[in-house]
Amino acid sequence: MSEPGFPALVPLDALSASLLDEMYRAERPSLLRRLARKTGLDQAEDVVHQVFVRLAGRGQALAEIETPSSFIAEAARNAERDNARAAYRRAEERHVPFEEVDLAGADPIACLEARDRLVRLERALDRLKPLARNVFLARRLDGYSYAEIARQTGLSVRGVEKQMSRALQQLARHLREP
């Protein structure tokens, strides 16, 4: 069984392999230039690779594509969007290299204060109702949208918003307590 998101390996006949090679040689340079302007060269290379791997997964259906350049351009836009969504979920834009983080280890008082804040936050999260806690953690920790949380929990988007609002109010109240 193949992993989700990857096409099953389909052996290409000589005609399909030749057609894929021709498409690759014709479309890769312009596709790479267009994508590199938006994403950078490394990311553009990855997207181009994804597109042509997916095309190879189509097997003999390659010959049925009427306008390969339009098809490949649209496939690249879709792959780029998919990658951007995945990066957002992983919070890559908020990533800070380890070397740039000021650690509290050198200052014992700061370390104790950080530990105290963490304990207070854990207690405050434990005091939330399970649904409000799950909604809060799914949004803030996992980066899911309200619509995605609504699908997972069976609530409406408005219901998820209400749970999030309650969670934030209760956390603020609990964290202000001594």
Q: What is the pLDDT of residues 112-161, one digit of tens each?
A: 888 888 898 899 999 999 999 999 999 988 888 999 999 999 999 999 99
Look at residue 97 in the predicted model and tell me its pLDDT.
Answer: 72
Asked if residues 65 and 85 have their Cβ atoms less than 8 Å apart, the reply is no
Which of 16-30, 56-70, 90-104 has the highest average model confidence (pLDDT)?
A: 16-30
pLDDT tens for residues 36-66? 888 888 888 988 988 888 888 777 677 788 8
Amino acid at 93: E
Q: Cβ-count burial of 63 within 10 angstroms (0-12 exposed, 13-18 middle, 19+ buried)?
A: exposed
Binning pLDDT at 50, 70 and 90, where does residue 93 land?
A: low
Q: What does the block give as tokens for 54?
A: 């997916």
* Topology of the domain covering 105-172: Arc Repressor Mutant, subunit A (1.10.10)
Look at residue 11 in the predicted model and tell me its pLDDT.
Answer: 64
Look at residue 132 in the predicted model and tell me its pLDDT.
Answer: 93
Q: Distance (Å, rounded) from C-alpha 77 to C-alpha 49? A: 13
Look at residue 62 in the predicted model and tell me its pLDDT.
Answer: 74
- Lowest average pLDDT, out of 68-77, 95-104, 114-123, goes to 95-104
Averaged pLDDT of the chain: 82
Which of 11-15, 17-21, 101-105, 168-172 has the highest average model confidence (pLDDT)?
A: 168-172
Reference 28, options 12, 17, 44, 40; nearest CA is: 44
Q: Distance (Å, rounded) from C-alpha 93 to C-alpha 90? A: 9
User: Is the Cα dihedral 168, 170, 171, 173 positive or negative?
Assistant: positive
Q: Distance (Å, rounded) from C-alpha 155 to C-alpha 176? A: 30
Name, in order, each residue with C-beta under 8 angstroms of 103's C-beta and a sequence gap of 6 or more. none
Mean pLDDT of all residues in 61-74: 83
